[in-house]
Chains A and B, each alone.
Chain A
Amino acid sequence: MPRFPLLASLTRHRLTVLLLVVQVACTCAIACNVALMIAGRVASMRQSSGVAEEQLVMIDSTAMGRQDNPLARHQADLAALRAIPGVKAAAAVDALPFNGDNWSNGIATAPGSPAHLAATAFDGTPGELQTLGLQLVEGRDFRSDEYLPVDSGHDWAGIDRVSVVIVTRALARRLFPGRDPLGRSIYPGDHPVRIVGVVDHLLRPDLESGGDGNEDSTLFPMLPDTRDVTYVLRTAPALRGHVLKQAMRTLQRLDGERILDHARSFARLRADYFRHDRTMLGLLLAAALGLLLVTAVGIAGLASFWVQQRRRSIGIRRAVGATRRDIRRYFQAENALIVAGGIVLGSVLAYALNLALMTRYELPRLPWFYLPAGALALWGLGQLAVLGPALRAAAVPPVVATRAA
């Protein structure tokens, strides 16, 4: 393939070539960063919550009127809920992944020292671990004599009396890197609380984008005693709708004055939590595809112009012995060269754009492999777009050379 004439012909269309290079560069820069955003959203949407998502349904219940003994009422409600056919386990809790009810405590690892981080407190009735389906990887579950009320009436003072805690593996690693967390004490309040167990995963009720503290969760043997509580039921996936309806009816029957809210399956809770991200994901995908489409169209349009413009020279080349394949490959090589120029410029632009987005929108740094991947995609797109015009060029018969332009 003769390189020199190819470059020489490009210099005849300097401005047009420059525009195409700029377009490819901008597309490369924007598409790489959009791809990064898409990857970030998808990763955040696919995080495992740690609970048995396909088997859980829940209802928020808020009692009206004076509450003399909320613990007894929760007990009575739970007993009735467990009696519903199909319910494998039930618990009253004050927080769940994705439900937004986040009560966090600063956690210190020595008395009187400043808090390392803030961790969500998950409180619930005995059996919370089995009901949620949390995987205990070390240690043990709470014993029944360890449970005490949250004591919301006195500023959640239960946190200063509770003696044991179960933490997530991620939190244990953040608090005690490289050491065995079992038996060590943390200080969520003024008093030491001993770690007796470690669960595999448990996401917090609210996620931070790009934060590494999304699994800073602590489980305490504390019984919710506010007037609002969340009942979680575990059942077979196929029975979820039916169990939810029965549970609503049961709770309404026990106390008609209460407000029942957010009756839904965990799958629905997750979908609701990420609804906004899904919209954004759709928009980002549309933007990326639109960009690539427009660029492909631009490449194809320009290429077909050049083919028309050079019909005569193509004819001459064919007449002096060039094969169809030579002509086709000429246009393909020309396109590859232009797109390569665009990619080089686009890589610089992509990093510049990434830097700007990092400071303003907390986007992570562009991993290195995005650029070769983007380059390959754009290069392939360019070849695809130029294929039609190149084939048309190859079809120009040698006889054109003998005619007037």
Chain B
Amino acid sequence: MPAHYLALALRSLRHHRVLTALMILAIGLGIGASMTMITVLHAMSGDPLPGRSGRLYTPQLDPRPLSRGKPGRAVADDLPGSLTWPDAMALLRARRADRQAAMAPGIVAVRPGSTALHPFFAHGHYATADFFAMFGTPFRAGGGWSAADDDARARVVVLNAGLARRLFGDAPAVGRTLRLDDADFRVAGVLDDWHPQPAFYMPRNGHGQAFGEADQFFLPLATALDLKLAITGNFSCWGGGGDDRRSDHCTWVQFWTELDNPARARAYRDFLDAYWRDQQAHGRFPRPAQARLYGLVAWLDHEHLIPADLRLQLWLALGFLGVCMVNTVGLLLAKFLRRGGEIGVRRALGARRRDIFAQLGVESAAIGLAGGVLGLALAQLGLWSVRSRPDGYAQLAHMDTAMLFGTFALAVAASVLAGLLPAWRACRIAPALQLKAS
């Protein structure tokens, strides 16, 4: 029977070619637009460090004075996102986590010795020794540096693969000397194109840096401070006394810890709480907001990394899909009801409502399937156009297998839903009335 229904459906669809094309086009456009946006957002909310993110936590303290910010604004969610230098160093020295590192993004002038290359700027991170082991960065050659190097403000640098290739070509880079700003650094290691997305360890700012280019270099935080290298993150100060980086009234350091099990995480929370109380007893942390410890995924949620424009685009696409569906429902309904006579005859000849419903359902499913295929093609086109955008996240816009099936499921679900109402309405046609009328 289904094969017969399919044949009937195709005949009916062919009969109203223009109308069929319009319905398929409407569903295809709606599905295509929605799937493009859903895929982009899905790619952007991926896990940056699969298998490791569950053990990573960032402690957050709010050392700012009470008077800042607009009155009446919710204080609970309003965190600076970064720590002050003294707090970061206190947490680092306490060594209460399995691994911990302080870090801040920066920019340095790379000055290749050779005359072939002009000096250029490179973006990277200043960090402490545990950074590499904690985040499991893959090394192509060499390694990171030790805590002793941190203390000694050693002039060592870890390059990401891209910068190493640009500077040294295919020759081994480890052990070579590199002039950054006005100091010579020894290359300690080369990373294997490490580029977690979103870059969860970046400080927040308004420019979507979490989806930008990969870090090109890493060097010890203490060394960067020593040499007064430029910091590019949020550097936020309050009160008087200038913007000295080591002061306790400027937040600019990101801090991450690795805690191997929930018990360790609980213990670290207690430790943070004790630290906060102790500092408060010494006159710091005037705000009532307590110390917090966020897991990586919870932190990404808290930071709302996905740009508002993109979320708006998603809602727009879904609204568009909704209108397209209502459109298809209306057209299918009109089409099915127009076949009242035919349906009446079938009913009079003994077809059950269920049979009519199945027959019409097959017809709407055929439209949905065609719309889904068109939608998939349009989504690929949409993703291709997203990838050509200049935004940092654009390169992430690829469809994986899960999203491919998701698209199809959405298309079929949308069209079956769109077909349900008309089919249900049509199968309620009373046979006698229709026969009499015609």
B26 neighbours in A (Cβ, 8 Å): 294, 297-298
CB pairs A–B below 8 angstroms (21 shown): A19-B329, A19-B333, A22-B326, A26-B323, A26-B326, A64-B182, A257-B111, A276-B391, A280-B309, A287-B317, A287-B320, A290-B320, A291-B320, A294-B26, A298-B26, A298-B327, A298-B330, A298-B331, A305-B338, A361-B308, A405-B438
Contact (A23, B337) CB under 8 Å given A66-B182, A259-B120, A301-B19: no
A259 neighbours in B (Cβ, 8 Å): 109, 118-121
- Quick one: closest A residue to B67, CB to CB? A114
- Quick one: closest A residue to B25, CB to CB? A297
Q: How far is the CA of A64 from the CA of B329 in the complex (A)?
A: 67
Please give the distance in Å from A349's CB to the nearest CB on chain B.
11
Give chain A's interface residues, CB within 8 Å of chain B.
Answer: 13, 15-16, 19-20, 22-23, 26-27, 30, 34, 37, 62, 64-66, 155, 257-259, 261, 275-276, 279-280, 283-284, 287, 290-291, 294-295, 297-298, 301-302, 304-306, 308-309, 357, 360-361, 405
Q: How far is the CA of A63 from the CA of B427 in the complex (A)?
A: 80
B309 neighbours in A (Cβ, 8 Å): 276, 280
A279 neighbours in B (Cβ, 8 Å): 389
Contact (A64, B334) CB under 8 Å given A27-B323, A259-B121, A276-B390: no
List 8 additional contacts besides A276-B309, A298-B26; criterion CB under 8 Å: A64-B111, A64-B119, A64-B182, A259-B118, A298-B330, A302-B331, A309-B338, A361-B312
Contact (A290, B33) CB under 8 Å given A155-B242, A301-B331: yes
- Quick one: closest B residue to A256, CB to CB? B118
Partner of A30, one of B109, B111, B119, B320: B320
Q: How far is the CA of A62 from the CA of B121 in the complex (A)?
A: 10
| B21-67 residues at the A interface, CB under 8 angstroms | 22, 25-26, 29-30, 33
> Is A19 within 8 A of B316, CB to CB?
no
Q: How far is the CA of A26 from the CA of B118 in the complex (A)?
A: 57
Q: Does B86 contact A (CB under 8 A)?
A: no
| B367-405 residues at the A interface, CB under 8 angstroms | 389-391
Q: How far is the CA of A62 from the CA of B327 in the complex (A)?
A: 59
Interface centre among B111, B309, B327, B391 (most CB of A within 10 A): B327
Closest 6 pairs (CB-CB, A-B): A298-B327, A19-B330, A155-B242, A305-B334, A23-B326, A301-B331
Q: How far is the CA of A259 from the CA of B337 in the complex (A)?
A: 73
| B305-339 residues at the A interface, CB under 8 angstroms | 308-309, 311-313, 316-317, 319-320, 322-324, 326-327, 329-331, 333-335, 337-338
- Quick one: closest B residue to A283, CB to CB? B313
Please give the distance in Å from A378's CB to the nearest CB on chain B.
12
A interface footprint on B409-430 (CB within 8 Å = 1, 0 otherwise): 0000000000001000100000
Please give the distance in Å from A338's CB to the nearest CB on chain B.
11
Q: Does B149 contact A (CB under 8 A)?
A: no
> Is B182 within 8 A of A294, CB to CB?
no
Please give the distance in Å from B348's CB to the nearest CB on chain A.
17
> Is A16 within 8 A of B330, CB to CB?
yes
Contact (A20, B330) CB under 8 Å given A30-B316, A65-B182: yes
B355 neighbours in A (Cβ, 8 Å): none
Interface centre among B30, B181, B337 (most CB of A within 10 A): B337
> Is A257 within 8 A of B119, CB to CB?
yes
- Quick one: closest B residue to A228, CB to CB? B230
A276 neighbours in B (Cβ, 8 Å): 309, 389-391
